Chain A
């Protein structure tokens, strides 16, 4: 389960987390189901947190070729 979650995009993860939270909130689950969901929820939360903490801004600039050919070169990358 952990590996699968690590591959998930942020939006997907947080939607799933949202769903799990509401299902768990309703409460009519077996103890096994509840504990599985809880474990998954915690993994998702940590995954989301990690994404949020690791985001960083990179600025790239495209420099189109003067002779109108399609190839595009990244002029420079600025860490801000």
Chain B
């Protein structure tokens, strides 16, 4: 036994060095318990298994770097080193890195399963069914208790109150997957148009579960569930866990909703919006109909003013023209009569309404006419007389004619006859020619 004297500090330091050098970096699998996150951000907790417990610490900087969160009861596989807190000489495990225990294997398994199912075409985007806009019945496959069904019912009621058919299932644990598969097939086997309409087949299915650990969500990664969704004739909306969780059912479903509430929204139309649409349609209908009416009325008006109006005005114009002419004619006629009257009045002023005067006037006029006629007759007779050949003969002319009373108007003609008649104003005389000579010849 050495006499060397140690201080507590030195011993503590030696223990610390000894722990750190002897163990180095080790891999440890344990369950988290008594977790306490200090205000500094460092996490203090215990790591335990069935037989022992060791204090553990995870610095804030490490925690921030890691993907997973520590929680009580979580089984983790961690890397770190054993150290001692010198001031208290308490040894502890300092964690540098951890992940949920066994998750690596599970993830690998899931990745393989996903690849296999994808290869089979289960996730083919072209095979996705259309979610009906106006489902009459929404089938819900989830736990009958808890927030999920409540959230769905609440949202459906808000948006478009629709009949909901709930198929209760366990959503975690060993039996969950089998129950979910049975529910999917069961919903599909419901009659489409049953005699009692209560239990007819839904138009859309929602498979939902609230948030949970990776293990909790495992039933929704099971192959039998994925295949049941794939063979469902009814479109399926999946809403499993939180938005960040993705399970295999999300790949095979026809639509993935981030939350159960969102699933309810995807499954229902928005009644308020529909009512607004209706109002809009109604307004448009009335506006369009009014427009058409207005246009028709305008057209009618146009026809009225163009055709009928034009037709009328043309006739009006003709009437105007005729009446104008009529006016003018009447005016002409009356002025003419007035002038005549004035003339009459000038020749002999008469009292307008004296019948005797009038008859006198008539008499005079008649006498005038008779006188005039006599005068005109004289002139005509004179003219006629002056035109008579006798008058000409009286002026010293005579005319020659053959014995058969054809006129002879030239010497040339006269040569042909030995005898012709010469007519004078007081009688006629037969002339015999001794020789046939022309007047011109005898003169020359």
Binding site for B on A (CB under 8 A): 9-11, 14, 17-18, 20-21, 24-25, 27, 29, 31, 34-35, 38, 41-42, 45, 48-49, 52, 55-64, 70, 72, 74, 77, 80
Contacting residues, chain B, for A25 (C-beta < 8 A): 284, 288
Known: A55-B161, A57-B161; 10 extra A-B contacts, CB below 8 A, are A21-B284, A27-B288, A34-B289, A52-B275, A57-B153, A57-B163, A58-B163, A59-B164, A62-B166, A72-B186
Q: Are B199 and A60 in contact (CB under 8 A)?
A: yes
Q: Are B166 and A18 in contact (CB under 8 A)?
A: no
Q: Are B168 and A61 in contact (CB under 8 A)?
A: yes
- Most chain A beta-carbon contacts within 10 A, residue among B144, B182, B281: B281
Contacting residues, chain A, for B168 (C-beta < 8 A): 61-63
Q: How far is the CA of A69 from the CA of B295 in the complex (A)?
A: 69
Contacting residues, chain B, for A58 (C-beta < 8 A): 163-164
- A to B contact number (C-beta, < 8 Å): 104
Q: Tell me the nearest residue of chain B to A28, going by C-beta.
A: B292
A-B contact pairs, 10 of them (CB 8 A): A21-B285, A24-B285, A27-B292, A31-B292, A38-B286, A45-B281, A55-B161, A61-B167, A62-B186, A74-B198
Q: Are B165 and A35 in contact (CB under 8 A)?
A: no
Which of B134, B144, B161, B278 meets A56, CB within 8 Å? B161
> What 0/1 pattern do residues 270 to 306 of B give for CB contact below 8 A with A?
0100110110011011101101110110000000000
Contacting residues, chain B, for A45 (C-beta < 8 A): 278, 281-282, 285
- Judged by a CB distance under 8 angstroms, whether B79 is at the interface is no
Which of B160, B164, B291, B295 meets A60, CB within 8 Å? B164
Q: Are B292 and A55 in contact (CB under 8 A)?
A: no
CB distance from B242 to the nearest CB of A (A): 25
Contacting residues, chain A, for B189 (C-beta < 8 A): 70
Q: Are B271 and A72 in contact (CB under 8 A)?
A: no
Q: How far is the CA of A63 from the CA of B295 in the complex (A)?
A: 63
Known: A11-B133, A52-B271, A60-B198. Contact between A18 and B281, CB under 8 A? Answer: yes
